[in-house]
Amino acid sequence: MDAPRDPSKLFRTAELSPPCYGSPNPGEALSGAVSASQKLPGPREGINRLTRIFSRYVFGQAAGTLLLILSSLSGIVWIALALRQLNVITSQGQDTMMLVKMTSLALPNLMAIIAPFSFLIAALQTLNRLNTDSELIVLSAAGGKVWTVARPLLLLALIVSAGLALVSHFAQPWSMRLLRDYIVQVRTDLLTQVIQPGRFTSPEANLMVHIRERALNGELIGLVMHDTRDKNQAQSYLADRGVIVKQDDTAYLVMSGGHIIRRTDAKEPPQIVAFDRYVVDLDQFEPQDATQGELKPRERYFGELMDPGPDSKLYQAQPGQFRSELHERFSSPLYPLAFAFIVIAFVGQARSTRSSRMESLVVAFVAATGCRLLGLALNNVVATNAAFVPMLYLLPLGAIAASLIVIRGADRQRSGLATIDKIVAIFEPIAERIKALVERRKEARAR
C-alpha cells in the first residue's frame, strides 16, 4: 500500500491551465483580479457618482430650456420695440441698420425683467417634465433628497444673477448712452434727409417744413417752416437758403436772407421780422427742461450714481430717481435665486402620476410673479420715500426664507406633503375654474 503523499507537494506540483484572457502567468492574473476588486467603488461612492450625473443632467436640461426661452422672449420684445420705432425709417429717413441698432440697444434695459422670468419658466418646465417622467419618484425612492434637484437649479440661478448684475452695472449704462447718441444723430439728420423737395413734411405735430430744392452740398434752398406748437403764438420762417450745422451734441439750422412772420393774436396784424442770418436750435423740437443734456440715472455707471456731482441739476430735481436706480441694480439679481427656491418648494417634491401637478405649477408661477411685481412697485415707492429701501431687499430674501420653511416642512412630512398641499388647496378652486373654462371653449370650438 502506497504511503500518502504530502499535500504541500501536491499543491506545488499542480499545474494551472492558462486563462483564456489576460496574462499567461497565473500569479499576475490573480493579483490583477485582487487589485481590480480593491478599485471597485463602494455603495457611498456609487450613490455620489449617480447624484453628480443626475445633477449634471438636470443642469443641462434647465440651461438648454433657459437659453431657448430667453432667446424667444428677447426676440418677441425686440420685434415689439422695432414696431414702435418703425417711424425711424418711415418718417425720419433712416436706414434699416439704424432701426436694428436702436432696437437692440434697448434690450439690456429690459433684461432685469426678461431674464428672471425666463429662468422661472425654464425651472418650472424642467421639474414638471422630471415629475411627469417619474424621474423624481425614482430619485426619492432611492433615498435622494430634494437638494439633489435643487443644487443644479440654484447654480443656474447664480449664473443668471451674476449675468444680470453685469448687465445692470455695465451693459445697460453703455447701451443707453449709445442709444442717446443715435437719437441725437436721428434728430440732426431730420431736416437734411427727411425733407423732400416740393413736399410739405411734418417731422412732428404742429410743425410743417417745405423746401424748393436741395443742393448737392446738402444746402436747403427755398425754405419754409411753419411752427404752431406754441398755442400762444404761431411762427413762420421763410428763407432763401438754410444749412444744418452740428456742434457737439447739438444741431442748428442756419437760415440766410428771409423773414419771420409771428402772430400772437388772431385779431392783431402779424409781426414781420426781416433777417440776413438767423439760427434755430433744433433741440427746441423736443420738450425742454432744466436738466436737458444731463445723463439720466439709467445712463450712469455706479460711481456716477453714488456721486452725481454738486452741479447736477437732474440730481437736485430728482434725487429719488438716483436712489431708486442704485438699489434696483443691487436688488434685482436676488430675484432669480428667489424664483429658484419658490419653484423647488412647490414643484421640486416627487409626486405620484395620479396626483395633479397643475395646481402646484400655477401657485409657484403666481407667487414668483407677484413677488417681482411687488418689487417693481416698491422701486417706484423708493423714488419718493427712502424709508422703503430695506423692503427692496427684504422682499426677495423673505421669499427665499418662506420657501426654505416649506421645503423643510415637506422633508419632515414627505409622505403627505402637508405644508405644500395646504397652500395649493387655497388656489385649487381657481385652478379648477380656469380648467373648466378652457374645456368649455374647446367643446364650443369642436361644435
- Per-residue pLDDT of 337-367, as tens digits, reads 999 999 999 888 776 655 557 788 888 999 9
- Reading phi first (left if > 0) and then psi (alpha if -120 to 50, else beta), residue 257 is in left
Average pLDDT value for residue range 13-22: 47
Q: Mean per-residue pLDDT for 44-58?
A: 78
Q: What is the pLDDT of residue 406?
A: 87
Lowest-confidence segment of 76-90, 399-413, 425-439 by average pLDDT: 425-439
pLDDT of residue 22: 47
Distance CA 298, CA 300 (A): 6
If DSSP codes are grouped into helix, strand and coil, which group holds residue 269? coil
CA Rg, the chain, in Å? 36
Residue extents of the structural domains in the chain: 194-284
Q: Which residues does residue 243 pair with via DSSP β-bridges, in sequence order?
A: 254
pLDDT at 64: 94
CB 352 within 8 A of CB 411: no
On the question of pLDDT at 284 being above 50, the answer is yes
Helices (H), 133-274: 135-141, 147-166, 172-188
SS3 43: helix
- What letter would DSSP give residue 389? H
Spatial separation of the C-alpha atoms in residues 244 and 260, rounded to whole Å: 18
Average pLDDT over residues 165-172: 93
pLDDT at position 415, please? 44
Tell me the CA distances in angstroms from 386 to 209, 317, 327, 391, 397, one per residue in order. Answer: 48, 16, 11, 10, 19
Contact 367, 341 (CB under 8 A): no
Asked whether 93 and 190 are in contact (CB, 8 A), the reply is yes
Q: How many whole angstroms separate alpha carbon 403 and alpha carbon 398? A: 8
Neighbours of 321 (CB within 10 A): 18
> Which of 12-16, 191-195, 232-236, 266-270 comes out lowest in average pLDDT?
12-16
Q: Which of 286, 288, 356 is nearest to 128 (CA)?
A: 356
Lowest mean pLDDT among 97-101, 155-159, 245-249, 391-395: 245-249
Examine the pLDDT at 412 and tell me if it is beyond 70: no
At residue 213, the pLDDT reads 87
Higher pLDDT, 269 or 28: 269
Residues 6+ apart with CB under 8 A from 301: 169, 170, 173
Q: Is the confidence at residue 442, as pLDDT, over 80?
A: no
Q: Name the residue with higher pLDDT: 48 or 105.
A: 105
Using the predicted structure, report yes or no on whether residue 402 has a pLDDT greater than 70.
yes
Residue 214 pLDDT > 60? yes
Buried/exposed code over 155-191 (b: 16+ C-beta within 10 A; e: otherwise): bbbeebbeebeebbeebbbebbbebeeeebbbbbbbb
Work out the mean pLDDT of the chain and round it to a whole number: 79
Q: Which of 340, 348, 336, 296 is nearest to 317 (CA)?
A: 296
Q: What is the pLDDT of residue 249?
A: 63
Mean pLDDT over 31-50 rounds to: 55
d(CA 261, CA 274): 9
Provide CB contacts within 8 A for 105, sequence distance 6+.
175, 176, 178, 179, 182
Q: Which of 5-19, 163-177, 215-229, 287-301 is predicted least confidently?
A: 5-19
Report whether pLDDT(194) > 90. no
Supply the pLDDT for residue 115. Answer: 93
Please give the average per-residue pLDDT across 119-144, as a whole number. 84
pLDDT of residue 291: 52
Quote the pLDDT of residue 12: 46
User: Can you give the pLDDT at residue 421?
Assistant: 55
Cβ 234 vs Cβ 271: under 8 Å: no
**pLDDT for the residue 286:** 54
Which range among 10-14, 137-141, 317-321, 400-404 shows the weakest confidence by mean pLDDT?
Answer: 10-14
- Residue 376 CA to residue 342 CA, distance in Å, equals 18
Q: 83-97, 266-280, 368-382 — which is least confidently predicted?
A: 83-97
pLDDT at 9: 47
Whether residue 378 is predicted with pLDDT greater than 50 in this model: the reply is yes
Grid cell listed for 434: 380656469
The DSSP symbol for 18 reads: P
